[in-house]
Chain A
């Protein structure tokens, strides 16, 4: 290490500044709201399949939509993808999505409907 000095894994000491405290409070609020939302979305998904009142034709796309929302919340809120310095992970993930969507979509069309 030598000239690089401090150990990055050493525990922090002292009180956070006013600004940091406010940031932490806001952060906590977003986390809690997202957490509640996640539980709500999961139970919606569960109910839409478990109850006989909702037709399968609707339930399938509905839970897929919920899943997409959950993935995005998961990545951006819980895994902090929206914070600065995450440009590359964002770019790579969205490139992957950009490649995967047309691939999977056309694959489903090609396999599902025999002649086009």
Chain B
């Protein structure tokens, strides 16, 4: 039996070759958490340097590298992969599917991300990390000496390919793999927001790919797209970067919105208020997200007409965002609210994120932006939306879905310590930064002079960062100390509303013994009220077809990883390495194309046994 055969292989080999969306989801979560801790460490080091005026904890060059790597790591290697982890694990379950549409591509997407992330971080050990900011504006980045920025370019290129593949996979999965009865307007909000975020990935990432390609040609092969003395134009990079970059921030926040919608409705025991308004607000935010990129460039000198147009377009996004905020409040209104850790994170999100939205609209006022731009006010803004939105969403989702993914509940007492310390630390760190910015402290500086009214607030900010660090350590500890809180019930919170709470824990590898029949939004909740509490089956019990694992995604990604070194050290005569890596990559693609693989079947008897 091929099923038994798969089990007899070593654990490591199993994870390297898996195409199971649940295992890939877990790998995204583990790798994302690692990079999150790494990015957090970089942040703490920066905050220590800024704790006192003219402090010399790290040299300025190191500070610039920490700054660049912190931003790049958090956005590309922590926040997005962690969201991808939840999407991978939860979305197929929520739509009643046995896997994603392209399991092989799913694995490829993960390995590309991981190798890209590793590549980026190798730079620390070989002559210094990139130092031109996560935005890598030219000419700072194109002229930056050393290989740091080359690692940035190729690392992001490799991991970006993985993200694009992942996004396309989610789109096809959600369009094609929904269970009978699960129409688009019955999909849970997390699935909806995954769908819209994947569309943003599909349309936004190509702009980054092109930008990075131009920068690579410029740095490694002497092109002159951005070289003004050769007729190039430095502004092109900023446009390309932000045409990608603004949709990117919505790629991060929309899935978090989805997570909050699930949790607020589950823990107030109420249907989500204004479901269709929520869906349309998500779509509108997704669309408008493409029309506002130049609000990052108000001070570049585009002129008053262009600035005004982009200012108004940007402010327009506040409208659908406001609709969502009010719908969450009205979901809570009159609900039987349970203050679990997951829900605490969701509740804290509403005011925290709203503050970030308010400073966003302030920044979007293009005339006032001349005052705010490139100061700590901007730093405060985006940390309020990203931590107050995305990170709180990730923690909320972790507490909510932990029993489904890992088979035990995280300790609620430690969870509450974690929550309060983190929330207080977060506001302590970033609230004062609004004022630091308003009184003129520029962002991205390695130090500042004393006696200018900056000292106290910088000190407070660093203390807040320590609190967040301690809180995160408590979280990591509680992961290990909670392992005894095993759950086996399919619906451990008792108020699950959606399909991910309908199969036994641990989730069988085929997810659903029988594809469920969906009769309403909140399919499970409907059956609890109108049926017998169990999903109706849409098909008879039978053999289940499963895809085979494959090592090829790993090898393809390894090929691009090797090839990247060849390009980075092109001038040291390593062109052959670049070619070798590409040969490995294309060789694996070739093998994949000619080798037929029909997967295997799990026999009906085993499915019946597994259901017990």
Q: Do A and B come from one complex?
A: yes
Instruction: Assess whether A51 is interfacial by the CB under 8 Å rule.
Output: no
B296-323 interface with A by 8 A CB criterion: 301-306
Q: Give A102's nearest chain B residue, CB to CB.
A: B291
Interface residue count on the B side (C-beta < 8 Å) = 25
Q: Are B302 and A116 in contact (CB under 8 A)?
A: yes
Q: Are B306 and A110 in contact (CB under 8 A)?
A: yes
Looking at chain A's contact residues, the main secondary structure is helix
Instruction: Assess whether B287 is interfacial by the CB under 8 Å rule.
Output: yes
Q: Are A103 and B290 in contact (CB under 8 A)?
A: yes
A99-B287, A111-B235 given; A116·B303 CB < 8 A: yes
Instruction: Assess whether B175 is interfacial by the CB under 8 Å rule.
Output: yes
Q: Are A111 and B287 in contact (CB under 8 A)?
A: no
Determine which of B175, B199, B303, B304 lies in contact with A95 in the assembled complex, contact meaning CB atoms within 8 Å: B199
Determine which of A92, A102, A116 lies in contact with B306 in the assembled complex, contact meaning CB atoms within 8 Å: A116
Closest Cβ–Cβ distance, residue B316 to chain A (whole Å):
14
Instruction: Assess whether B243 is interfacial by the CB under 8 Å rule.
Output: yes
Determine which of B175, B202, B236, B542 lies in contact with A111 in the assembled complex, contact meaning CB atoms within 8 Å: B236
In the complex the two chains form, what is the Cα distance from A102 to B291 in whole Å? 8
Q: Are A111 and B294 in contact (CB under 8 A)?
A: no
Instruction: Assess whether B203 is interfacial by the CB under 8 Å rule.
Output: yes
Can you list, as one digit per residue, whether each of A77-116 has a CB less than 8 Å from chain B (1) or not (0)? 0000000000010001001101110110011011100111
Q: Are B235 and A2 in contact (CB under 8 A)?
A: no
Instruction: Assess whether B606 is interfacial by the CB under 8 Å rule.
Output: no
Instruction: Assess whether B543 is interfacial by the CB under 8 Å rule.
Output: yes
Chain B residues closer than 8 Å to A107, beta-carbon distance: 239, 243
Instruction: Assess whether A3 is interfacial by the CB under 8 Å rule.
Output: yes
Closest Cβ–Cβ distance, residue B243 to chain A (whole Å):
6
Q: Are B542 and A2 in contact (CB under 8 A)?
A: yes
Chain B residues closer than 8 Å to A3, beta-carbon distance: 540, 542
Q: Give B598's nearest chain A residue, CB to CB.
A: A1
In the complex the two chains form, what is the Cα distance from A3 to B541 in whole Å? 11
Instruction: Assess whether B233 is interfacial by the CB under 8 Å rule.
Output: yes
Looking at chain B's contact residues, the main secondary structure is helix
Q: Report the number of A-B residue pairs with Cβ-Cβ less than 8 Å.
A: 48
In the complex the two chains form, what is the Cα distance from A114 to B302 in whole Å? 7
Closest Cβ–Cβ distance, residue B254 to chain A (whole Å):
16
Q: Give A95's nearest chain B residue, CB to CB.
A: B199
In the complex the two chains form, what is the Cα distance from A9 to B420 in whole Å? 59
Q: Are A88 and B303 in contact (CB under 8 A)?
A: no
A2-B542, A2-B543 given; A110·B175 CB < 8 A: no
Closest Cβ–Cβ distance, residue B307 to chain A (whole Å):
8
Q: Are A111 and B303 in contact (CB under 8 A)?
A: no
In the complex the two chains form, what is the Cα distance from A95 to B284 in whole Å? 12
Chain A residues closer than 8 Å to B542, beta-carbon distance: 2-3
In the complex the two chains form, what is the Cα distance from A88 to B171 in whole Å? 10
Chain B residues closer than 8 Å to A100, beta-carbon distance: 203
Chain A residues closer than 8 Å to B233, beta-carbon distance: 111
Q: Give B175's nearest chain A residue, CB to CB.
A: A88
Q: Are A116 and B304 in contact (CB under 8 A)?
A: yes
In the complex the two chains form, what is the Cα distance from A106 to B306 in whole Å? 9
In the complex the two chains form, what is the Cα distance from A23 to B557 in whole Å? 47
Can you list, as one digit per residue, whether each of B576-612 has a CB less than 8 Å from chain A (1) or not (0)? 0000000000000000000000000100000000000
Closest Cβ–Cβ distance, residue A87 to chain B (whole Å):
10
Chain A residues closer than 8 Å to B601, beta-carbon distance: 2
Chain B residues closer than 8 Å to A116, beta-carbon distance: 302-306
Chain B residues closer than 8 Å to A98, beta-carbon distance: 287
Closest Cβ–Cβ distance, residue B607 to chain A (whole Å):
13
Q: Give B283's nearest chain A residue, CB to CB.
A: A95
Chain B residues closer than 8 Å to A111, beta-carbon distance: 233, 235-236, 239
Q: Are B290 and A110 in contact (CB under 8 A)?
A: no
Closest Cβ–Cβ distance, residue A14 to chain B (whole Å):
28
Q: Are B305 and A99 in contact (CB under 8 A)?
A: no
Closest Cβ–Cβ distance, residue A11 to chain B (whole Å):
18
Can you list, as one digit per residue, whether each of B529-566 has a CB less than 8 Å from chain A (1) or not (0)? 00000000000101101000000000000000000000
> Which of A1, A88, A99, A114: most chain B Cβ within 10 A?
A99
Q: Are A99 and B302 in contact (CB under 8 A)?
A: no
Can you list, as one digit per residue, whether each of A18-51 has a CB less than 8 Å from chain B (1) or not (0)? 0000000000000000000000000000000000
Q: Are B239 and A99 in contact (CB under 8 A)?
A: no
Q: Are B303 and A115 in contact (CB under 8 A)?
A: yes
Closest Cβ–Cβ distance, residue A66 to chain B (whole Å):
25
Q: Are A99 and B290 in contact (CB under 8 A)?
A: yes
Chain A residues closer than 8 Å to B287, beta-carbon distance: 98-99
Chain B residues closer than 8 Å to A115, beta-carbon distance: 301-303
Closest Cβ–Cβ distance, residue B540 to chain A (whole Å):
8
In the complex the two chains form, what is the Cα distance from A20 to B321 in whole Å? 51
Q: Give A113's nearest chain B residue, CB to CB.
A: B303
Chain A residues closer than 8 Å to B543, beta-carbon distance: 2
Closest Cβ–Cβ distance, residue B178 to chain A (whole Å):
12
Q: Give A107's nearest chain B residue, CB to CB.
A: B239
Q: Are B203 and A96 in contact (CB under 8 A)?
A: yes
Closest Cβ–Cβ distance, residue B366 to chain A (whole Å):
12
Q: Are B199 and A110 in contact (CB under 8 A)?
A: no
In the complex the two chains form, what is the Cα distance from A107 to B545 in whole Å? 49
Q: Give A91's nearest chain B residue, CB to CB.
A: B175
In the complex the two chains form, what is the Cα distance from A88 to B176 in whole Å? 10
In the complex the two chains form, what is the Cα distance from A102 to B203 in whole Å? 13
* Extra inter-chain contacts (17) besides given A95-B203, A96-B202, A114-B301, CB under 8 Å: A2-B542, A2-B543, A2-B601, A3-B540, A88-B175, A98-B287, A102-B291, A103-B243, A103-B290, A103-B291, A107-B243, A109-B306, A110-B235, A111-B235, A115-B302, A115-B303, A116-B304
Question: Which residues of A are interface residues toward B (Cβ below 8 A)?
Answer: 1-3, 88, 92, 95-96, 98-100, 102-103, 106-107, 109-111, 114-116
Q: List 5 A-B contacts (CB under 8 A).
A: A2-B601, A96-B202, A110-B235, A110-B306, A115-B301
The 5 closest A-B pairs by CB, nearest first: A116-B303, A115-B303, A116-B305, A116-B306, A99-B290
Question: Which residues of B are interface residues toward A (Cβ below 8 A)?
Answer: 171, 175, 199, 202-203, 233, 235-236, 239, 243, 287, 290-291, 294, 301-306, 540, 542-543, 545, 601
